[in-house]
Amino acid sequence: MQSIPVRAAVLRGGQERFDLEDVTLREPGPSEVLVRISAVGMCPADLLGRKGIPVKYPLVAGHEGAGIVEGLGPGVTHVKVGDHVVLSFDSCGWCSRCSEGAPAYCDHFIPLNMVGRRRDGSTPMTSTTGEPICGRWFGQSSFATHAIATERNTVVVVDDLPLELLGPLGCGIQTGAGTVLNALKLGPGDSLAVFGTGAVGLAAIMAAKIAGVSEIIAVDLNAKRRDLASSLGATRVLDGADPDIVPQVRSWTGGGADAAFDTTGLSPVVVNALNAIRSRGTCALVDVGGDLVIPPLALAGGRVLTFLTEGNAAPHQFIPRMIGLWRKGQFPFDRLIRTYPLAEINIAETHMTSGETVKPVLIPPASTT
């Protein structure tokens, strides 16, 4: 089987730095696609090991890739060499959830996305000494010059689009926008409180504006993020350290917001989000910040607390929808992006975690030499 030389950012432990290494990819197998990565977004999910969540190492992370198809495995019919593509999460395509159009809830989501290997335990990536490297993070491992993806998680886009901008549509931006448009399904007359205005929260705010949501409240500790939220559609902003967040939101929304969206996963923030919504309102979570401690009365009045995956999106339909909205000037997600060479991945991580950069996008070198 042919080997493909690749330059990749390898992570060898949960608290280790990323190191650029020469690695090898095997050519794509059945239903797989070889993609030369043009750019890849960095997302908190690439750093789950930093939070103590078990992750297998060594690992090449990266799951917001965009690039150009360079090779096809047997059985691929909907993608061709030369296609420009955005890579998203993987799914099996045949379980009950996939069959009903909900691939984000695929019965095999965890083994396909969060292990870094194929379901049979194999990996297409090895070091130059033959050491196996987990090279299928979210079905792609795109912190590299090339990635092996699957036909299922490869979304073809028209080739006049800037690939350096599109990767984040595969996860973070999709999660925020999809939560509003697909899951909460808010519209005119509704109100939404967004807790945490990183890339996911800001995507939700932009989507809420598109949907015509009447009151869009952004809550964040970072003053610059609050200003950015205002410029992207938030009607009001609150400092996350304000002790009166709940009464303020309830006052502005006539007794409580119709929905809240928490992007932090932190118990005190989630409790505030729940207390800020009206009876039978919904609070959606998308991040893992540790164990949640929820007082039972926070759920009184029929309030719903739910954890959503990937904005309930089916990427082959939702990514083109987001691109269409961006082309119309209604969804300026590009304002969140700052690009870095792949060699500066550790700087990009520092900037993301400190809040200096909303959405880092890494640009791999054009070749492995």
Instruction: Render pLDDT for 17-49 as a digit per residue (tens, 0 to 9).
Output: 999 999 999 999 999 999 999 999 999 999 998
- pLDDT value, residue 235: 98
All CATH 3.40.50.720 domain ranges of the chain, comma separated, are 174-312
Q: Which residues contact 57 (CB under 8 A, 6 or more apart)?
A: 11, 12, 13, 14, 49, 134
- pLDDT value, residue 368: 55
- pLDDT value, residue 369: 45
Which residue's structure tokens are 């396909």?
A: 112
Residues lower than pLDDT 50 in the chain: 369
Q: 169-194 b/e with 16+ CB inside 10 Å = b?
A: bbbbbbbbbbbbbbbbebeeebbbbb
Q: If residue 353 lies in a helix (H) or strand (E), which one and from where to where? A: helix 345-354
pLDDT digits (tens, 9 = 90+) for 256-267: 999 999 999 999
Within 13 Å and on the Cβ side, how many CA atoms surround 312?
15
SS3 category, 297: helix
Superfamily of chain region 3-170+332-363: Medium-chain alcohol dehydrogenases, catalytic domain (3.90.180.10)
All CATH 3.90.180.10 domain ranges of the chain, comma separated, are 3-170+332-363
The CATH code of the domain at 174-312 is 3.40.50.720
> In whole angstroms, what is the distance from residue 342 CA to residue 40 CA?
9
- pLDDT value, residue 226: 97
- pTM of the complete model: 0.95
- pLDDT value, residue 291: 87
CA separation, residue 55 to residues 103, 140, 172, 354 (Å) = 22, 16, 20, 23
- pLDDT value, residue 366: 83
